[in-house]
Chain A
Protein backbone atom coordinates (compact mmCIF):
# COMPACT_ATOMS: atom_id res chain seq x y z
CA UNK A 1 0.00 0.00 0.00
CA UNK A 2 2.99 2.25 -0.51
CA UNK A 3 2.12 3.95 -3.75
CA UNK A 4 -0.33 6.81 -3.88
CA UNK A 5 -3.28 6.23 -6.18
CA UNK A 6 -2.38 9.28 -8.20
CA UNK A 7 1.00 7.74 -9.00
CA UNK A 8 -0.47 4.34 -9.90
CA UNK A 9 -3.04 5.69 -12.31
CA UNK A 10 -1.09 8.58 -13.79
CA UNK A 11 -0.14 7.56 -17.32
CA UNK A 12 1.43 10.76 -18.53
CA UNK A 13 5.05 10.49 -19.59
CA UNK A 14 5.51 14.24 -19.73
CA UNK A 15 7.19 16.08 -16.89
CA UNK A 16 4.78 17.69 -14.46
CA UNK A 17 4.31 21.40 -14.90
CA UNK A 18 5.69 23.41 -12.02
CA UNK A 19 3.17 25.85 -10.62
CA UNK A 20 4.25 28.50 -8.18
CA UNK A 21 2.47 28.09 -4.90
CA UNK A 22 0.16 30.87 -3.94
CA UNK A 23 -0.60 31.95 -0.47
CA UNK A 24 -3.91 30.28 0.31
CA UNK A 25 -5.72 30.53 3.61
CA UNK A 26 -5.63 27.27 5.54
CA UNK A 27 -9.42 26.82 5.62
CA UNK A 28 -9.67 27.33 1.84
CA UNK A 29 -6.81 24.91 1.20
CA UNK A 30 -8.51 22.28 3.30
CA UNK A 31 -11.65 22.56 1.17
CA UNK A 32 -9.78 22.24 -2.13
CA UNK A 33 -10.65 19.01 -3.95
CA UNK A 34 -7.83 16.48 -4.07
CA UNK A 35 -6.38 15.73 -7.50
CA UNK A 36 -8.18 12.92 -9.24
CA UNK A 37 -6.95 10.36 -11.72
CA UNK A 38 -8.75 7.91 -13.98
CA UNK A 39 -9.08 4.22 -13.23
CA UNK A 40 -10.67 1.38 -15.15
CA UNK A 41 -13.26 -0.23 -12.89
CA UNK A 42 -13.89 -3.87 -13.76
CA UNK A 43 -16.74 -5.82 -12.21
CA UNK A 44 -15.62 -9.46 -12.28
CA UNK A 45 -18.56 -10.80 -10.27
CA UNK A 46 -21.76 -9.34 -8.89
CA UNK A 47 -20.78 -6.62 -6.43
CA UNK A 48 -17.07 -7.36 -6.77
CA UNK A 49 -14.68 -5.18 -8.73
CA UNK A 50 -11.03 -4.58 -9.33
CA UNK A 51 -9.36 -1.58 -10.92
CA UNK A 52 -6.61 -1.23 -13.48
CA UNK A 53 -4.56 1.73 -14.62
CA UNK A 54 -6.18 2.85 -17.91
CA UNK A 55 -2.94 2.59 -19.86
CA UNK A 56 -2.86 -1.17 -19.26
CA UNK A 57 -6.22 -1.77 -20.98
CA UNK A 58 -5.96 -2.14 -24.75
CA UNK A 59 -9.05 -3.61 -26.35
CA UNK A 60 -12.48 -4.97 -25.58
CA UNK A 61 -13.64 -7.92 -27.66
CA UNK A 62 -17.34 -8.79 -27.75
CA UNK A 63 -18.33 -12.47 -27.78
CA UNK A 64 -14.74 -13.65 -27.86
CA UNK A 65 -13.91 -16.99 -29.43
CA UNK A 66 -11.72 -18.79 -26.91
CA UNK A 67 -9.84 -22.02 -27.57
CA UNK A 68 -9.95 -24.35 -24.58
CA UNK A 69 -6.66 -25.69 -23.21
CA UNK A 70 -7.21 -29.27 -21.99
CA UNK A 71 -6.57 -29.73 -18.31
CA UNK A 72 -5.77 -26.07 -17.76
CA UNK A 73 -6.00 -24.28 -14.43
CA UNK A 74 -9.48 -23.54 -13.09
CA UNK A 75 -9.01 -19.83 -13.67
CA UNK A 76 -7.91 -20.40 -17.28
CA UNK A 77 -10.55 -20.06 -19.96
CA UNK A 78 -8.13 -20.68 -22.80
CA UNK A 79 -6.47 -18.83 -25.65
CA UNK A 80 -7.81 -15.89 -27.63
CA UNK A 81 -6.56 -14.72 -31.02
CA UNK A 82 -5.78 -11.00 -30.95
CA UNK A 83 -3.52 -9.21 -33.42
CA UNK A 84 -1.96 -12.47 -34.59
CA UNK A 85 -1.16 -13.48 -31.03
CA UNK A 86 -2.73 -16.11 -28.82
CA UNK A 87 -3.49 -14.52 -25.48
CA UNK A 88 -4.28 -16.27 -22.22
CA UNK A 89 -7.81 -15.51 -21.03
CA UNK A 90 -8.38 -15.55 -17.28
CA UNK A 91 -11.51 -15.84 -15.21
CA UNK A 92 -10.79 -13.33 -12.45
CA UNK A 93 -13.47 -14.69 -10.14
CA UNK A 94 -11.97 -18.18 -10.27
CA UNK A 95 -8.46 -16.81 -9.83
CA UNK A 96 -9.29 -14.55 -6.90
CA UNK A 97 -11.76 -16.83 -5.18
CA UNK A 98 -10.67 -20.42 -5.84
CA UNK A 99 -13.31 -23.02 -5.16
CA UNK A 100 -16.28 -20.82 -5.99
CA UNK A 101 -18.71 -21.83 -8.72
CA UNK A 102 -17.78 -19.83 -11.79
CA UNK A 103 -19.47 -21.90 -14.48
CA UNK A 104 -21.51 -18.90 -15.65
CA UNK A 105 -18.31 -17.14 -16.70
CA UNK A 106 -17.20 -19.92 -19.03
CA UNK A 107 -18.78 -18.18 -22.03
CA UNK A 108 -18.06 -14.52 -21.31
CA UNK A 109 -19.65 -11.60 -23.14
CA UNK A 110 -16.38 -9.71 -23.35
CA UNK A 111 -12.65 -10.20 -23.23
CA UNK A 112 -10.65 -7.23 -22.02
CA UNK A 113 -7.12 -7.24 -23.47
CA UNK A 114 -4.55 -5.84 -21.06
CA UNK A 115 -0.83 -5.19 -21.34
CA UNK A 116 1.99 -5.88 -18.95
CA UNK A 117 5.77 -6.00 -18.86
CA UNK A 118 7.66 -9.01 -17.55
CA UNK A 119 10.51 -6.71 -16.51
CA UNK A 120 11.49 -3.09 -16.79
CA UNK A 121 12.18 -2.15 -20.41
CA UNK A 122 10.89 -5.54 -21.59
CA UNK A 123 8.53 -5.44 -24.57
CA UNK A 124 4.85 -5.33 -23.85
CA UNK A 125 3.09 -8.63 -23.42
CA UNK A 126 -0.65 -9.14 -23.44
CA UNK A 127 -3.32 -11.15 -21.73
CA UNK A 128 -7.09 -10.93 -21.34
CA UNK A 129 -9.79 -11.10 -18.69
CA UNK A 130 -13.22 -12.57 -19.28
CA UNK A 131 -15.96 -10.10 -18.38
CA UNK A 132 -19.73 -10.04 -18.43
CA UNK A 133 -19.98 -6.29 -17.80
CA UNK A 134 -18.36 -3.43 -19.66
CA UNK A 135 -15.52 -1.73 -17.76
CA UNK A 136 -16.20 1.76 -16.46
CA UNK A 137 -13.82 4.67 -16.23
CA UNK A 138 -14.00 6.42 -12.89
CA UNK A 139 -12.12 9.18 -11.10
CA UNK A 140 -10.17 8.27 -7.98
CA UNK A 141 -8.32 10.39 -5.47
CA UNK A 142 -5.78 9.59 -2.81
CA UNK A 143 -8.19 10.21 0.02
CA UNK A 144 -10.25 7.22 -1.16
CA UNK A 145 -7.37 4.84 -0.45
CA UNK A 146 -8.26 2.02 1.93
CA UNK A 147 -7.13 -1.39 3.16
CA UNK A 148 -7.43 -4.46 0.97
CA UNK A 149 -10.59 -6.51 1.50
CA UNK A 150 -10.23 -9.80 3.35
CA UNK A 151 -12.28 -11.94 0.97
CA UNK A 152 -9.31 -13.36 -0.96
CA UNK A 153 -5.83 -14.51 -0.06
CA UNK A 154 -4.73 -13.41 -3.53
CA UNK A 155 -5.03 -9.68 -2.92
CA UNK A 156 -1.73 -9.42 -1.09
CA UNK A 157 0.01 -11.14 -3.98
CA UNK A 158 -1.68 -9.34 -6.86
CA UNK A 159 -2.79 -5.91 -5.65
CA UNK A 160 -0.81 -2.69 -5.78
CA UNK A 161 -3.20 -0.70 -3.67
CA UNK A 162 -6.90 -0.31 -2.92
CA UNK A 163 -9.53 2.41 -2.83
CA UNK A 164 -13.12 2.71 -1.77
CA UNK A 165 -15.75 3.24 -4.45
CA UNK A 166 -19.47 3.47 -3.62
CA UNK A 167 -18.66 2.03 -0.20
CA UNK A 168 -16.85 -1.03 -1.55
CA UNK A 169 -13.10 -1.70 -1.42
CA UNK A 170 -11.66 -2.01 -4.94
CA UNK A 171 -8.15 -3.50 -5.21
CA UNK A 172 -5.90 -2.17 -7.96
CA UNK A 173 -4.29 -5.17 -9.65
CA UNK A 174 -0.84 -5.46 -11.16
CA UNK A 175 -1.28 -7.05 -14.59
CA UNK A 176 2.34 -8.22 -14.64
CA UNK A 177 1.85 -10.18 -11.45
CA UNK A 178 -1.29 -11.75 -12.89
CA UNK A 179 0.19 -12.94 -16.14
CA UNK A 180 3.86 -13.50 -15.33
CA UNK A 181 3.50 -16.77 -13.53
CA UNK A 182 6.50 -18.95 -14.29
CA UNK A 183 6.13 -22.54 -15.46
CA UNK A 184 6.50 -25.28 -12.93
CA UNK A 185 10.10 -26.51 -13.36
CA UNK A 186 8.95 -30.08 -12.75
CA UNK A 187 6.93 -29.97 -15.97
CA UNK A 188 9.18 -31.16 -18.77
CA UNK A 189 7.69 -31.93 -22.14
CA UNK A 190 9.22 -35.19 -23.17
CA UNK A 191 9.13 -34.90 -26.96
CA UNK A 192 12.34 -36.14 -28.41
CA UNK A 193 11.45 -35.27 -31.98
CA UNK A 194 11.20 -31.54 -31.27
CA UNK A 195 14.40 -29.75 -32.13
Chain B
Protein backbone atom coordinates (compact mmCIF):
# COMPACT_ATOMS: atom_id res chain seq x y z
CA UNK B 1 0.00 0.00 0.00
CA UNK B 2 1.37 3.36 -0.96
CA UNK B 3 0.07 6.80 -0.26
CA UNK B 4 0.41 9.78 -2.50
CA UNK B 5 2.99 12.15 -1.07
CA UNK B 6 2.43 15.86 -1.46
CA UNK B 7 4.94 17.28 -3.90
CA UNK B 8 4.85 20.92 -2.84
CA UNK B 9 3.61 23.11 -0.03
CA UNK B 10 1.69 26.35 -0.02
CA UNK B 11 3.50 28.83 2.22
CA UNK B 12 2.42 32.27 3.21
CA UNK B 13 -0.78 34.08 4.06
CA UNK B 14 -3.99 32.67 2.69
CA UNK B 15 -7.71 33.16 3.03
CA UNK B 16 -10.01 30.16 3.40
CA UNK B 17 -13.32 31.04 1.77
CA UNK B 18 -16.38 28.84 2.20
CA UNK B 19 -19.64 28.52 0.29
CA UNK B 20 -21.73 25.64 1.61
CA UNK B 21 -19.52 22.52 1.22
CA UNK B 22 -16.97 24.18 -1.06
CA UNK B 23 -13.78 25.54 0.49
CA UNK B 24 -11.39 27.66 -1.55
CA UNK B 25 -7.91 28.77 -0.52
CA UNK B 26 -6.74 32.01 -2.09
CA UNK B 27 -3.58 34.03 -1.47
CA UNK B 28 -4.41 36.75 1.01
CA UNK B 29 -3.18 39.53 -1.25
CA UNK B 30 -5.84 38.53 -3.79
CA UNK B 31 -8.73 38.91 -1.37
CA UNK B 32 -9.87 42.39 -0.38
CA UNK B 33 -11.20 43.58 2.96
CA UNK B 34 -14.25 41.74 4.20
CA UNK B 35 -17.50 43.43 5.10
CA UNK B 36 -20.97 42.34 6.07
CA UNK B 37 -23.74 42.28 3.53
CA UNK B 38 -26.18 45.00 4.48
CA UNK B 39 -29.41 44.22 2.78
CA UNK B 40 -31.03 41.73 0.47
CA UNK B 41 -29.69 40.91 -2.98
CA UNK B 42 -31.73 40.56 -6.14
CA UNK B 43 -31.02 39.73 -9.76
CA UNK B 44 -30.06 42.62 -11.99
CA UNK B 45 -29.80 43.26 -15.71
CA UNK B 46 -26.32 41.75 -15.87
CA UNK B 47 -26.65 37.96 -16.19
CA UNK B 48 -25.55 36.07 -13.10
CA UNK B 49 -24.84 39.16 -11.04
CA UNK B 50 -26.82 40.57 -8.13
CA UNK B 51 -27.45 44.01 -6.66
CA UNK B 52 -28.71 45.39 -3.39
CA UNK B 53 -32.49 45.43 -3.49
CA UNK B 54 -34.03 48.88 -3.58
CA UNK B 55 -30.84 50.82 -4.33
CA UNK B 56 -29.37 52.48 -7.37
CA UNK B 57 -25.86 51.51 -6.33
CA UNK B 58 -23.64 50.45 -9.23
CA UNK B 59 -22.02 47.84 -7.02
CA UNK B 60 -22.66 44.25 -8.06
CA UNK B 61 -22.43 40.97 -6.15
CA UNK B 62 -21.81 37.33 -7.05
CA UNK B 63 -22.80 34.15 -5.20
CA UNK B 64 -21.07 30.89 -6.07
CA UNK B 65 -22.49 27.38 -6.19
CA UNK B 66 -20.38 24.46 -4.96
CA UNK B 67 -19.47 23.97 -8.64
CA UNK B 68 -18.05 27.51 -8.73
CA UNK B 69 -20.76 28.70 -11.06
CA UNK B 70 -22.88 31.78 -10.40
CA UNK B 71 -26.18 31.38 -8.60
CA UNK B 72 -29.23 33.38 -9.70
CA UNK B 73 -29.83 34.46 -6.11
CA UNK B 74 -27.85 34.67 -2.91
CA UNK B 75 -28.58 31.75 -0.55
CA UNK B 76 -29.23 32.47 3.13
CA UNK B 77 -26.09 32.65 5.23
CA UNK B 78 -23.88 34.38 2.66
CA UNK B 79 -23.39 37.50 4.69
CA UNK B 80 -19.64 38.03 4.24
CA UNK B 81 -18.52 40.04 1.21
CA UNK B 82 -15.06 40.47 -0.26
CA UNK B 83 -13.73 41.88 -3.50
CA UNK B 84 -11.30 39.65 -5.37
CA UNK B 85 -8.17 40.64 -7.24
CA UNK B 86 -7.56 44.38 -7.43
CA UNK B 87 -11.24 45.08 -6.77
CA UNK B 88 -11.57 47.53 -9.65
CA UNK B 89 -14.52 45.56 -11.03
CA UNK B 90 -16.69 46.81 -8.13
CA UNK B 91 -17.87 43.22 -7.60
CA UNK B 92 -18.46 41.74 -4.15
CA UNK B 93 -18.30 37.98 -3.65
CA UNK B 94 -20.61 36.43 -1.06
CA UNK B 95 -19.30 33.83 1.41
CA UNK B 96 -20.61 31.81 4.33
CA UNK B 97 -17.31 31.85 6.16
CA UNK B 98 -13.91 33.44 5.81
CA UNK B 99 -10.76 32.68 7.71
CA UNK B 100 -7.32 34.23 7.34
CA UNK B 101 -4.37 31.85 7.69
CA UNK B 102 -1.16 33.65 8.59
CA UNK B 103 2.19 32.11 7.70
CA UNK B 104 0.57 28.85 6.76
CA UNK B 105 2.49 25.87 5.45
CA UNK B 106 0.10 23.48 3.79
CA UNK B 107 1.05 20.38 1.82
CA UNK B 108 -0.39 20.58 -1.69
CA UNK B 109 -1.88 17.53 -3.40
CA UNK B 110 -2.62 17.37 -7.12
CA UNK B 111 -6.14 16.52 -8.21
CA UNK B 112 -5.93 13.37 -10.35
CA UNK B 113 -5.64 14.42 -13.97
CA UNK B 114 -8.40 12.05 -15.07
CA UNK B 115 -10.91 14.36 -13.36
CA UNK B 116 -9.76 17.54 -15.08
CA UNK B 117 -10.48 19.32 -18.32
CA UNK B 118 -8.64 22.34 -19.72
CA UNK B 119 -11.45 24.47 -18.26
CA UNK B 120 -11.39 23.09 -14.72
CA UNK B 121 -10.56 26.05 -12.47
CA UNK B 122 -8.75 24.05 -9.78
CA UNK B 123 -6.08 21.39 -10.01
CA UNK B 124 -4.67 21.16 -6.49
CA UNK B 125 -6.03 20.86 -3.00
CA UNK B 126 -4.91 21.13 0.59
CA UNK B 127 -6.33 19.83 3.83
CA UNK B 128 -6.58 22.59 6.36
CA UNK B 129 -8.18 22.38 9.81
CA UNK B 130 -9.99 19.22 8.82
CA UNK B 131 -11.38 20.81 5.68
CA UNK B 132 -10.71 19.93 2.10
CA UNK B 133 -9.90 23.13 0.21
CA UNK B 134 -9.07 23.80 -3.40
CA UNK B 135 -6.16 26.10 -4.14
CA UNK B 136 -7.26 28.81 -6.48
CA UNK B 137 -6.27 32.26 -7.62
CA UNK B 138 -8.67 35.19 -7.85
CA UNK B 139 -8.06 35.29 -11.58
CA UNK B 140 -8.97 31.63 -12.01
CA UNK B 141 -12.06 31.94 -9.84
CA UNK B 142 -13.36 34.99 -11.64
CA UNK B 143 -12.51 33.69 -15.07
CA UNK B 144 -14.36 30.43 -14.48
CA UNK B 145 -17.36 31.77 -12.57
CA UNK B 146 -17.98 34.78 -14.78
CA UNK B 147 -17.30 32.68 -17.87
CA UNK B 148 -20.23 30.40 -17.02
CA UNK B 149 -22.73 33.23 -17.38
CA UNK B 150 -25.26 32.84 -20.18
Contact = CB atoms under 8 A, between A and B. Distances in A.
The secondary structure that dominates the A interface is: loop
A86 B133 CA distance: 13
Interface residues of B, number: 39
Given A86-B4, A183-B123, A184-B118, 16 more contacts: A67-B21, A69-B122, A73-B114, A73-B116, A73-B117, A76-B114, A79-B132, A83-B3, A179-B112, A189-B124, A191-B137, A192-B27, A193-B12, A194-B135, A195-B9, A195-B11
A20 interface: no
Nearest to A182: B113
Interface string A170-195: 00000000111111101101111111
27 contacts: A69-B116, A70-B67, A70-B144, A71-B117, A71-B120, A71-B121, A73-B115, A76-B115, A79-B132, A83-B3, A84-B3, A85-B3, A86-B4, A86-B132, A88-B112, A123-B2, A127-B112, A180-B114, A183-B113, A187-B116, A189-B124, A189-B135, A190-B140, A191-B135, A192-B27, A194-B10, A195-B9
B106 to A, nearest CB: 9
Interface string B1-19: 1111000111110000000
3 closest residue pairs by CB, A with B: A70-B68, A76-B115, A88-B112
A178 B114 contact: yes
A190 B139 contact: yes
B137 A179 contact: no
A1 to B, nearest CB: 25
Residue in B67, B116, B122, B124 with the greatest tally of chain A CB atoms within 10 Å: B116
Given A190-B137, A193-B27, A83 B112 contact: no
A195 B10 CA distance: 6
A69 to B, nearest CB: 5
B108 interface: yes
A72 B2 contact: no
B66 interface: yes
A76 B87 CA distance: 33
A178 B112 CA distance: 12
A127 B114 contact: yes
A129 to B, nearest CB: 12
B120 A72 contact: yes
Contacts of B112: 79, 87-88, 127, 179
A124 interface: yes
